[in-house]
Amino acid sequence: MDYYLTEEQKELVSTARAIANEHIKPVRQKYDAEGTFPQDIVKILGEAGLFGVYIPEKYGGRGMGVFELVLIVEELSKVDAGIALALAATALGAYPILLGGSDEQKARFLAPLATGEKIAAFGITEPESGSDPISLATKATKDGDFYILNGAKCFITNGGEAQINTIMAVTNKGRGARGISAFVVEKGTPGFDFGKKENKLGIRASVTRELLFDDCRVPKENLLSREGWGLILALKTFDATRPGVAAQALGIAAGALNETMAFATTHIESGETVASRQGIQHRLADMATEVEAARALLYATARMVDEGKVRTTKESAMSKLYASDVAMRVTSEAVRLFGDRGYLHDYPVEKMMRDAKITQIYEGTNQIQRNEIGLALIKEAASAA
């Protein structure tokens, strides 16, 4: 399908595709096997200007938006979603600053993210608080010109590598959702440390770690927006970044379809290619249709986010829900179509199936996306009545 990209958008896609094929494809198996962070690739992505697409020019970025971020993440994820995540999770850490930061905070924190000189992380999840952020336990207590943070965040993407960490902490327990605030905690701040690095099923080139706060003194200048506005910032951030998760999922599914087409049209069984059988063609047709439907929903949503006229909570949740379920279906079908080879590390599709699973889990599980969509539908029905 033609999505009528501008020349600039086409150029971004071709830059991301070239990096993915020339620099990521040759090393993706190594990073997957070792589970190490791809610092060298992050440098290449930074030098190509891909980290700063959604950051305003005023702060050193390219002044584009979520749609361009989605295009890049999709291209990179076609080859390796774990490596793409260094960039996508930086956007997750950066968006609360973009949405709630002062001019001074944006200049200070976003400029080094725009060039890839620094990367970001976003911490809301805790050992006893995942889907329900109201139950956060990490506390931020005001002490003169500082907030003292105590607690732990777990499963944080880019944890330990990120210099800029956007952290949600409770400033007023009694105020529930309005008692959570957002802070930027810089790597190296005394009292801020890192715990265990997780050993994962997929996206193994992405680092996932605990963040530990022990009497960590954060300057009051690092509070984003106002006290009590943290959760609102987080939810607005998800509207902009769930399309990024959908882009990872779409990229994985599209990558698996590309690999399957290459295999099915060249691999010979009993004197004919796998793709010459009509039963196989039907399966390929379903995979391709689902991938295109996921892309159409995602691109329309990303463009809506960038228009900025209305909240896109429902559409962003739908994009993530649908694309991640498609990614699971398409990658498991790809493994099936590769036959015995699909199960081997020597072929890329088993890794894609492992990588796909996380897109149904993070930034809110797909049950939580369904809750969001359901709530929005009820609100719409009530206002139409």
Comparing CB distances to ligand FAD, the nearer of 18 and 177 is 177
Q: Closest Cα to residue 129, out of 96, 173, 160? A: 173
List C-alpha distances in Å: 261 to 50, 69, 239, 350, 354: 29, 27, 34, 15, 20
Tell me if residue 61 falls in helix, strand or coil. coil
Comparing CB distances to ligand FAD, the nearer of 259 and 363 is 363
User: Strands (DSSP E) along the chain, which ranges?
Assistant: 120-123, 139-143, 146-157, 164-170, 180-186, 192-197, 208-219, 223-224, 268-269, 272-273
Comparing CB distances to ligand FAD, the nearer of 235 and 361 is 361
Comparing CB distances to ligand FAD, the nearer of 6 and 367 is 367
Q: Closest Cα to residue 141, out of 203, 84, 81, 191? A: 191
- Interacting residue ranges for ligand FAD, rule: CB under 6 A: 89, 121-125, 130-131, 155-157, 200, 208, 358, 361-365, 367-368, 371
Active site residues: 363
The nearest distance, CB 207 to ligand FAD, in angstroms, is 10
The nearest distance, CB 259 to ligand FAD, in angstroms, is 23
The nearest distance, CB 380 to ligand FAD, in angstroms, is 20
CA angle, 24 as apex, 316 and 28 as ends, to 5°? 90
Tell me if residue 39 falls in helix, strand or coil. helix
What's the length of the chain? 385
The nearest distance, CB 171 to ligand FAD, in angstroms, is 18
Comparing CB distances to ligand FAD, the nearer of 161 and 333 is 161
Q: Position 282: which residue type? A: H
What is the 3-state composition of the chain as percent helix, strand, coil, each rounded to the nearest 5?
60, 15, 25
